[in-house]
Amino acid sequence: MDYTVYYYNKTILITGAAGFIGAALVKKVCEENPEAKVIGLDSVNDYYDVRLKEYRLENLTKFKNFIFVRGNLADKKVVENLFKEYHPDIVVNLAAQAGVRYSIEHPDVYIEANLIGFYNILEACRHYTPEHLVYASSSSVYGGNKKVPFAVDDKVDNPVSLYAATKKSNELLAHAYSKLYNIPSTGLRFFTVYGPAGRPDMAYFGFTNKLIKGEKIQIFNYGNCKRDFTYIDDIVEGVMRVMAKAPQKRDGEDGLPLAPYAIYNIGNSNPENLLDFVQILQEELIRAKVLPEDYDFDAHKELVAMQPGDVPVTYADTSALEKDFGFRPHTKLRDGLRKFAEWYKEFYG
C-alpha cells in the first residue's frame, strides 16, 4: 500500500496489541512513524493458542519506538497508570473478548473485557483528554437486519448474541462520553477480518486446523451463509486513516457541545457464499502444500443447521468511509486466503 499516515512525535496507545488486528496495527504505525511512541497493552490471555500472541509480539520487538505493557483492561489501576505515565494523544481500543459462539457459554468474560474494560478506557479519556479515541465495534451489531448492505445509520437495536450487545453498548457509552466530556470518538464496525497470523477461532483458520487433522468441517445454514470477508491489511489501512482525523468539536444551537462522534463500517462490500469460500480455501491450501493434491474434501465437509447467535449474511456499506477518508477495502478473497495459506505453511511447517 502506498498510502502513508504520519504521526510525528505522537504517543499512541493501542490496546489488544498481541491480538490479530492490534499487532498488525502496531507494526504498521511503528514502521511508518519511527518518531512516534507506541504503547501496547494486552493481557495475553489463553482464549486461543498463546503461542500465536507471543509470535505476534516477538515480531514487534524490533521496533525501538514500541513499549509493551502486560495488563488487563478491566483493571482500572492498570489503565489509569498507563494514561498517567504516557498521556497518549491517540487511543485505539482493540482489546475485547471476541467471538459470537464463545459468548453463549462464557458471558462473564465479555462483561469484564468489553464493558468494564471499555468503561475504564472512557474514564481515562475523560481525565486525560486525548485528541481521539478510536475503538473496535463489530458487524455483529446489525444482528438479523434484513436490509443489505448494512449502513451505519441502520437501526441496530436487536442484537442476536451477547457479544453483539456488548459492542453496541460500547457505541452507546462512547456517544455519552463524547457528548458529556467533548471526547472525539470513532467506532469502527469490522466485517469478518482474516489473514496471516489471524484468530484460530475464525472459520478459515479453524477449518484449516481440522482438515489437517482429517476431521470434518461443519458449514452452517447448509452453506447458505454469506460473509463480507475483509483482509487484515485493508482493516489496518482503514484504522490508520481514521485515527488521523478525529470528529470535529463544535457547539449546537443551545451553546452546548455536540457529541464529536462517528461510526464507520470497514468491510469488503462483497459478501462471499460460504461454500465458495471453502472451495477457494481448499484450492489455496493445496497450492501452498498445506494439504495434499488428492485430499478428499467432500468426505470432510458436513452441511449443518444455523448456530445460535449467527446471522445469514453480513454486507458492509462503506460509502461513509469512502466519502470521509477516500478509502475502501479492495483485497480479493483468493489473494487474502493465498497469503494466509502460505503463512500457515511457514508457521506450522
8 is catalytic: no
Whether residue 258 contacts residue 315, with contact meaning beta carbons closer than 8 Å, is answered with no
Query: Which is it for strands 37-42 and 11-15: parallel, antiparallel or unpaired?
Result: parallel
**Coil/strand/helix, residue 221:** helix
Output the CA–CA distances (angstroms, integers) from residue 59 to 28, 129, 286, 346, in the order listed: 12, 31, 27, 15
- Residue 296 and residue 153: Cα distance in Å, rounded? 45
- Residue 238 and residue 25: Cα distance in Å, rounded? 10
Count other C-beta atoms under 10 Å from residue 113's C-beta.
Answer: 22
- DSSP for residue 116: I
Cell 472525539, residue?
A: 184
Residue 269's region, left for phi above 0, alpha for psi from -120 to 50, else beta, is left
**139: amino acid identity, one letter:** S
Given 47, 135, 163, 261, the catalytic residue: 163
What does the angle CA 57 – CA 164 – CA 182 come to, to the nearest 5 degrees? Answer: 80
**4: amino acid identity, one letter:** T
- DSSP for residue 178: H
Cell 477449518, residue?
A: 207
φ/ψ of 80, rounded to 5, equals -55, -45
Residues listed for the chain: 349
Active centre residues (catalytic): 163
